[in-house]
C-alpha cells in the first residue's frame, strides 16, 4: 500500500515541484512522447503531469488518497510519516516542512492539484 500511496501522491508533488523543476519535467514529457514544439517548460511540465495521471489511471492507480481508502482522520499521520521518509524528502527539489506536507496530503486526498501550487 505504501507504494500505491507514493504513486497516488506523485502528480501532486510534481505540481508542487513544477515551479523549480519545470525543465526536468519537460524532459520527462519529451521522453514520454509529448509534443514539445511551441511549449514553454512550464507548459510541458503541466502536460507531463497530466500524462502521468493518464498513465496511472490506465494501470489502475487511484487519483486520490480518498479513493485509495485512506481515512480522513489519518491525514495528519500520513503527512508526518511522509515527511519522515528521508530518501524521498532529501532528494526533492523543493524543501518540505510539516505544514507544506499536510497541504499536499490534503490536496492528494481531495484530488485538488491546484492546491499544490504554492
**Given this model, what pLDDT does residue 2 score?**
65
Q: What are the structural domain ranges in the chain?
A: 2-116
**Given this model, what pLDDT does residue 28 score?**
97
**Given this model, what pLDDT does residue 25 score?**
97
Environment class of 13 (CB within 10 Å of its CB; exposed 0-12, middle 13-18, buried 19+): buried
- How confident is the model over 37-50, as pLDDT tens digits? 999 999 999 999 99
Task: List Cα–Cα distances, 98 to 43, 46, 75, 76, in angstroms.
Answer: 29, 25, 12, 9
Asked if residues 11 and 53 have their Cβ atoms less than 8 Å apart, the reply is yes
pTM above 0.85, yes or no: yes
What is 2-116's CATH topology? Dehydroquinate synthase-like, alpha domain (1.20.1090)
Of the candidates 13, 24, 5, 8, the one whose C-alpha atom is nearest the C-alpha of residue 89 is 13
Q: Which residues of the chain have pLDDT under 50?
A: none
**Given this model, what pLDDT does residue 50 score?**
97
**Given this model, what pLDDT does residue 64 score?**
97
CA distance 106 to 14: 15
Amino acid at each position: 500500500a505504501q507504494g500505491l500511496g507514493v504513486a497516488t501522491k506523485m502528480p501532486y508533488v510534481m505540481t508542487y515541484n513544477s515551479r523549480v523543476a519545470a525543465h526536468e519535467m519537460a524532459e520527462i514529457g519529451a521522453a514520454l512522447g509529448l509534443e514539445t514544439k511551441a511549449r514553454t517548460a512550464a507548459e510541458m511540465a503541466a502536460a507531463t503531469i497530466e500524462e502521468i495521471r493518464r498513465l496511472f489511471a490506465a494501470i489502475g492507480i487511484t487519483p486520490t488518497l480518498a479513493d485509495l481508502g485512506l481515512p480522513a482522520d489519518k491525514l495528519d499521520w500520513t503527512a508526518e510519516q511522509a515527511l519522515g521518509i528521508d530518501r524521498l524528502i532529501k532528494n526533492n527539489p523543493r524543501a518540505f516542512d510539516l505544514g507544506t506536507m499536510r497541504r499536499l496530503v490534503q490536496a492528494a486526498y481531495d484530488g485538488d492539484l491546484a492546491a499544490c501550487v504554492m
